[in-house]
Every structure is written in C-alpha cells, then in structure tokens.
Chain A
Amino acid sequence: MPPTNPRVALFATCLVDMFRPSVGFATVKLLEEAGCEIHVPEAQTCCGQPAWNSGDRETARDIAKQVIVAFEGYDYTVLPSGSCGATIAKDYPAMFDEGDPWRIRAEALARKTFEITSFLTDVMGVETVAAEVPRLVTYHDSCSGLRSLGVKAQPRKLLASAGVSVREMEESEVCCGFGGTFCVKYPDISNSMVNDKVTNATATGAEMLLAGDLGCLMNMAGKASRDGKQIEVRHVVEVLAGMTDTPAIGEGQG
C-alpha cells in the first residue's frame, strides 16, 4: 500500500519542459486528484537517455547520478513518459557495476519510479478520473512504455473512466519511427515509419490520436500536419486531466 498522501517528485522530462509544459501541468493535476503531494526538483534536466543510447556511458552515468541525488528523497518519481521512465526504472541500475554504491541507489530509485498512467492505476489504485471527455480517440502504444514498463491497459482504463472511446488502430504497438536520435540519423526510414503510423491512426476515423510520450507525439503530429491529415494529437494526460482547451500538438494559436 502506498502512503495516503505520498510525496511525489515530478520529472517533467526535457521535451515536456521545453515543448509542451501543459503536459506537465496536466500530470500535476492528475497527481493532485489522486491525493499526492507534488514536488518539482529544481536540479532536473534530462534523464540522460540520449547519451546512454549513443554509447556514451560516462555522460549517461554522470546525469544519472545527478537525477538520483535530486529524486531519491521522495516517495515516488513520476514522469509523463514511458521512455524516460524506462531509462530511470530499467537502465539506471545497469549503468553501474555490481558493488558500486551508486548501483544500490539507482536500484532504489528505479523501484519507485513510474510512468504517470501506470502510477495512477497500479500504485495509487485510481479507478476513475474526474474529467468527462466524450470523444473518439485512437491510442499509440509508445515502445518503451509498452515493452519495458508494461503500459498498455492502464491508459485505456483511465480513458474509459473519462468517457473516452478508444478505437484501436492497426499495429498500435509498432514503433512510430521517432526513436530519439534515430529520427535525425535515419530521417528517410523514420519518415516512412511515421507515415505508416499516421495512416493507420487516421484510418480509424478517430478525432484524436493519443500517446504517452511527447517524442512520438511530436513525430506523429508533425507528419499529420505536413500531410494535411485532420487529427488532433495530444498527450494522454491532457485528456485525462480534461485540459483539451489548449491547441493540440503542432496546432497554431491563431
């Protein structure tokens, strides 16, 4: 059982911090509704995944230490991202050798780090969210959240509680082609992959395309707008928090 009012540290993630703060605020709203006490550690930058996945172990370790120090004092660390969540929950322990005191600290932080929909459902036991959003959406299962953290049913369950209908697309579990640095290292392949993804998403006839990772969302939104496809692309927490009055990702403010 979690503490009644757990002290939760929000790791906004670099993309949310820079590109879509409203995802951060929506996450805060959901956490508060679930009875959490929110903290936003000042010393957060990035989780270090770009370095880790580029083979730069030393930088990745340095950043991991910085994150561990900033976040280990709280009951939980929660992120609006399965990708960054998996970096902390799965990769941090692997960055340090057995016997290294940092390994123990990394493992301790890993155990209490969660992606937001998984945290609400699996840890806080949230059954319903407050928002009512009677819209038809389709959901892209971002890779790290799905395969490293087992995020699949949780967002769907919460969406259903908000009156959202999910119409599944073909290949909802197939990568959108973002892949961090992959999308700029191999833009042609990435573009073809996101083309498939947006084609599958729009084929459902859904009004909205949701996912739990901003990298994937920016990729899909960018493709949809380039190809003139009419689908509102949003982070799942925006819908769950009932915060759909802001322009969707890639949409202008007029």
Chain B
Amino acid sequence: MTVQSTTPQFKQNTKDALKNANLQTALRDTRNGFVGKRAAAREKMGVDEFEGLRDAARDLKNHTLANLDVYLEMYEEQVRASGGHVHWAKTAEDAQRIVLDICRKADAKTVNKGKTMISEECGINDFLAENGIKPVETDLGEYIIQLRGEHPSHIIAPAVHVTVPEVRDEFRKAHTHLDADRNLDGLDTLLKEARGVLREKYFEAEVGITGANMLIAETGQSIIVTNEGNGDLSQSLPRVHIVMASLEKIVPTLEDSATILRVLARSATGQDMSVYTTFSSGPRRATDPDGPEEYHVVLLDNGRTDMIGTEFQDMLRCIRCGACINHCPVYQTVGGHAYGWVYPGPMGSVLTPSLIGVEEGGQLPNASTFCGRCESVCPMRIPLPKMMRHWREREFEKNLTPSAMRYGLKAWAFVAKRPWLYRVKTRAAIMALGLLGRRKGRFAALPLASGWTGGRDMPAPEGDTFMAQWKAGKRP
C-alpha cells in the first residue's frame, strides 16, 4: 500500500468531523443538491426507461467482467495498433514506477493532472514530488485541495468540504504573483483567477496524466468525461499523455459506452450529459497539428483480479459516479475524509477493505445502518449493503469483530435459540426496567448503554412482555 490510510481511526475521524464547523456547513449546504438533481434527471428521462438502462448497464458490465481476459487482450491489441503503449501494473507501486519511468524518459519537470482517482489510489503526486517532478492538479476542485495539502473528500467533487472563504484564503496564499489587495469577493473572480493561473500551467507541462471513465475494447480508446475541460487540456497540450485506469474500466464497444454514458451523468450530477466526453486513441497522427506525441495506458490491477469470482465481484461494475456517496446519510454526516483512504461513502466502504485489507479497512463496512439508499440509486445496481455485510462475515470468520460485540452476540444467540429461556430472561429484564422507568417513560442514562444515552433518552418498556400478556389471555 502506498497511500497511508487513517481508516483504523475511523471513529476518531468521525468525532473530529462532527466538531469541524466548516465541514458541517459545507456538508449541510450540499446535501440536497446532488440528490434533487439526480431525481429530476431520472424523472425527466422517464423512470421506466432510466430503470431499464440501469438493468442494461448492470448486464453489460457483468458480461464484460465474465469475459474480461478476452476483452483486455482485444483492447491491448487496439491500443498498440493505434501507436499507443499499454503498461500492466499489478500493484500501486508498479504503477508509480511505470509513471516515473515515462516521465523521466520525457525529461519532465512538470506533470499536469486531470482528475484521476486511480492516481490518488497509487499516490502518484507524492511519489512524483519525491522524485523531483512537480505534479499540478488542474481540475478546479483538485487544485484547491492540492493547495491545501489534502486528498479529495469526494470522488467527483473533491473539494466539496471546502467553503468559499477557505478557497479565497488559499488563493491569496498561493497566488503571490498577483496583487495582494485584489478583490476576490465574487465566486466569478475566484474562478477567473484559477482559470488564468492554470491556463499558463497547461503550456508548461511535458506530461499530462488523466484517468479514464471507460476503455473501449473494440477501438482501444480511452474515454474521459468532464465538465471543466481541464482533462482535455491536460491530455492535448503536453508532449506525453499517460492514461491511468484500472482494468475493470473496459466496455466492449462504442455503442455500449452509450449505455453507460446515459446513466453516468444523470446519476452523478443530474446532467443529461457531462460537457466533455472525449474518446482518445494513440498519439497524434502524421497529419494531426495537435495532440500528444506519446500515448501510454497504465492498466492497474491492485487487488481487482482477486475480487473476480468472489462475492465482491459486483463492486467492479462501479463507474465512480458518486451517487451512493451523495445519498449516504453517514457520508452526509461526517464527510469523505473520515473514511481515511481514497474512496469514501458506500462504494469506499466496500472497495477499501478489498484494496488495503479488511484488517486495515474493516471499520468502514461496519459504519452503515444498511439503510439501502446507496443501492437504490446505484446506476450499476451494485448491492452495496450486501457486500458490506459480506465484509462483516469475513471479519467475524477471522475473529476481527470486537470482542465485546462478539461476546454479546454469543450470549444473545444462546438465549434467542431457546425460546423458553428467552421468555424468562426478557420478561425479568423488561419487568425490572419497566418498573424503574415507567413513571417518567424514559431513561436519561443506563448502565452499558452510554452510547445510546449520550445523545438521546432510552424509552422505557411499557411493563410486561407482549408474549406473557398474550399467554395470560390479554386481547386488544
């Protein structure tokens, strides 16, 4: 693993997040934006048709994963035929080494980055910087967090946790070549300033790194889907273009990409289509006046082939739209950084243990109420709660479940499996609790239940159990 996680400290992270007033403001201001926009886009298309496309997208990706070796070979052949190079990276470290080699051969001092989560997963920025190459994030959100020395807190809105005054402060600190007394009040002035600063950087870099939303097996094209246009400038202007993509990004044909595109933006931002959807193949041709002279694809595995054939395979259908994150009440409460690694929210809670190990990432699949909202909006119909439960099963099998919880479960199971004992035990407990609490109707504190009573009362039981009253002949 190359990117240090703070996932084992998830609980502490969430406590800090809840106390972080700026973060809470940012989360509150955005919580209904994405949700409302997705719902409107779905309505606009027609619910039945949208749901049909979700089925088709799921089936398409299932087909691709079931035949992934054949499609990968086809893709590789097509990239080669168009003059590009495919580099296979088994691990994040392999990907780092490959990217550095390409940058060194290009004699790169500066590398422009389009937004890529695979690069985050591989820790490319820190690695390049350690090796004397300057990575410049060009997605506006990524740029803001790079200035802040942070990682993205959301896969499609990386700076969603940053408030406008914080952006203003960062720009004043970073853009020292500009007039110190300039007016930065309006959002438009902030955008214009970033646009100006980054525009120059596009022309400085020798290498541009982007991700890929899809890789087309039939044609060997990589697809990026963006709204800003930074990804296109990052891949068109430098002499060398590196695509970093994980190997499950394959789709068979151009027509198939249409199916994914039809659910992607609608699920992500509620747009019918993102502004720029770009299909790229190989380096610039003899007659092309622009475009990169070299085109490299780094195909990352990093644990994904280990997921194939397991109960976690469905996760590889994920197209990184962020809908599960946008709809997750836990994410909406604590934000993305609390998750402690690259991928937050429900998709992160399933993927993180797969990629960094359940020992390290096991907190995440536990931090869910299984409310199911993520699965209900996932365009690829990934059963996220079910897979989180599978992680809990793995933890239970590996004895990683906390001992208090394990012991409690065991004791409870012993009783629950013996109805007569259960009757006696629950009745005794409830009668006692009822006697204590019936007058007020609730408890402000209870032994062993401080987690509950820290923030809320515990309603008292009414008195005798239902089963005992029923048996005694009570009827409504």
**In the complex, are there CB atoms of A and B closer than 8 Å?**
yes
Instruction: Confirm or deny: B447 has a beta carbon within 8 angstroms of a beta carbon on chain A.
Output: no
| A42 is an interface residue with CB less than 8 A from chain B | yes
- Which one of B11-19, B45-53, B123-131, B195-203 contacts A? B11-19
Q: Which of A57, A179, A225 contacts B368 (CB 8 A)?
A: A179
A54-B392 contact given A175-B371, A180-B369, A223-B456, CB 8 Å threshold: yes
**Complex contact B333–A189 (CB within 8 A):** yes
Q: Which of A45-53, A103-111, A114-122, A153-161 lines the interface with chain B?
A: A45-53
B475 interface residue, CB < 8 Å from A? yes
Please report the C-alpha to C-alpha distance between residue A151 and residue B449 in the assembled complex, in whole angstroms.
31
Number of interface residues of A (CB under 8 A): 79
Which residues of chain B are within 8 angstroms of A52 by Cβ–Cβ distance?
A: 389
B residues within 8 A CB of A188? Answer: 14-15, 18, 454-455
Q: Which one, B175-183, B271-279, B341-349, B394-402, is touching chain A?
A: B394-402
**Distance between A225 CB and nearest chain B CB, rounded to angstroms:** 5
Q: Contacts A16-B466, A181-B405 hold; do A218 and B454 have CB atoms under 8 A apart?
A: no
Q: Which residues of B contact A28 (CB under 8 A)?
A: 475-476
Interface stretch, picked from B283-291, B295-303, B413-421, is B413-421
In the complex, A123 has a CB within 8 A of chain B: no
Within 8 A of B (CB), among A38-92: 40, 42-46, 48, 50-57, 59, 62-63, 66
User: What per-residue 1/0 map shows which CB atoms of B440-475 lie under 8 Å from chain A?
Assistant: 111010000111111111111111111101110011
Query: Is residue A194 within 8 Å, beta carbon to beta carbon, of the partner chain?
Result: yes
Residues of chain A with a CB closer than 8 A to B83's CB: none
Q: How many Å lie between the Cα of A246 and that of B419 in the bound state?
A: 28
Are the CB atoms of A186 and B14 closer together than 8 Å?
Answer: yes
Distance between Cα atoms of A153 and B461 in the complex (Å): 30
Query: A250 an interface residue at 8 Å Cβ cutoff?
Result: yes
Interface string of B262-278 (1 = CB under 8 A from A): 00000000000000000
**Contact A17 B454, CB 8 Å, known A63-B413, A253-B438:** no
Instruction: Let me know if A187 is at the binding interface, CB within 8 A.
Output: yes
A222 and B443 alpha carbons, distance in the complex (Å): 9
In the assembled complex, which residues on chain A have CB atoms less than 8 Å from the CB atom of B396? Answer: 54-57
> Quick one: which of B15, B440, B466 contacts A12, CB cutoff 8 A?
B466
Complexed CA–CA distance, A220 and B441 (Å): 14
Cα A230 to Cα B467 with chains together (Å): 31
**B423 CB to nearest chain A CB (Å):** 8
Partner of B461, one of A20, A40, A46, A173: A20
- Write out, one digit per residue, whether chain A residues 138-178 have a CB within 8 A of any chain B CB (1) or not (0): 00000110011000000000000000000000010111011
Question: Does B8 make an interface contact (CB < 8 A)?
Answer: no
Q: Report the separation of the CA atoms of residues A137 and B372 in the bound assembly, to the nearest whole angstrom.
A: 25
A249 within 8 A of B: yes
A151, B465: Cα distance in complex, Å: 27
For the complex, is A192 an interface residue (Cβ under 8 Å from B)? yes
Grouping DSSP codes into helix (H, G, I), strand (E, B) and loop, the A interface class, with mixed when no group exceeds half, is: helix
A45 touches B369 (CB 8 A): no
Establish whether residues B459 and A221, one from each chain, have CB atoms under 8 Å apart when the complex forms: yes
The reply to whether B466 and A219 form a contact with Cβ atoms under 8 Å apart is no
Contacts known (A63-B417, A182-B369, A184-B451); A54 close to B457, Cβ less than 8 A: no
Chain B residues in 8 Å Cβ range of A195:
455
Say yes or no for A133: interface residue by CB 8 A criterion: no
The complex places the Cα of A46 from the Cα of B412 at a distance, in Å, of 10
Question: Residue-by-residue, is B369-394 near A (CB-CB < 8 Å gives 1, otherwise 0)?
Answer: 11111011000000000000101111
B330 within 8 A of A: yes
Does B334 sit within 8 A of A, measured CB to CB?
yes
Q: For the complex, is B409 an interface residue (Cβ under 8 Å from A)?
A: yes
Q: Cβ of A17 and Cβ of B466 under 8 Å apart? A: yes
User: A143 with B14: in contact, given A52-B389, A55-B395 (CB under 8 Å)?
Assistant: no
Residue of B nearest to A28 (CB): B476
B422: CB under 8 A from chain A?
Answer: yes
Report A-chain residues with C-beta under 8 Å of the C-beta of B413. Answer: 51, 56, 59, 62-63
The answer to whether A189 and B330 touch (CB under 8 A), given A25-B474, A45-B419, is yes
Question: Within the assembled complex, what's the spacing in Å between the Cα atoms of A66 and B418?
Answer: 9
Set A55, A171, A254: member contacting B389, Cβ < 8 A: A55
User: Which of B333, B370, B461, B476 is the one whose CB lies under 8 Å from A53?
Assistant: B370
Q: How far is the CA of A173 from the CA of B433 in the complex (A)?
A: 32
Establish whether residues A226 and B409, one from each chain, have CB atoms under 8 Å apart when the complex forms.
no
Instruction: Report A-chain residues with C-beta under 8 Å of the C-beta of B419.
Output: 42-45, 66
Query: CA A158 – CA B438 in complex, angstroms?
Result: 31
Whether A205 sits at the interface, judged by CB under 8 Å, is no
Please measure, in the bound complex, the distance between the C-alpha atom of A16 and the C-alpha atom of B464, giving whole angstroms: 11
Q: Are B416 and A184 in contact (CB under 8 A)?
A: no
Q: Which residues of A contact B422 (CB under 8 A)?
A: 45-46
**A19 and B430 within 8 A (CB):** yes
Output the nearest chain A residue to B470 by Cβ-Cβ distance: A40
Contact of B455 among A179, A191, A196 (CB under 8 A): A191
Which 10 residue pairs are nearest across A and B when measured between Cβ atoms?
A179-B369, A55-B392, A191-B455, A55-B396, A175-B371, A252-B441, A21-B466, A222-B456, A187-B451, A250-B459
User: Can you offer 25 A-B residue contacts whose CB atoms are under 8 A?
Assistant: A17-B426, A17-B465, A17-B466, A18-B466, A19-B430, A19-B460, A19-B461, A24-B470, A51-B413, A53-B389, A54-B409, A55-B392, A55-B394, A63-B416, A144-B372, A147-B371, A184-B449, A186-B14, A187-B451, A191-B455, A192-B18, A193-B333, A222-B452, A251-B441, A254-B439
A-B contacts besides A40-B470, A46-B422, 18 pairs, CB < 8 Å = A18-B430, A19-B430, A20-B462, A21-B465, A25-B474, A28-B476, A42-B419, A46-B416, A52-B389, A54-B409, A56-B396, A59-B409, A148-B372, A188-B454, A191-B454, A219-B456, A246-B462, A250-B441
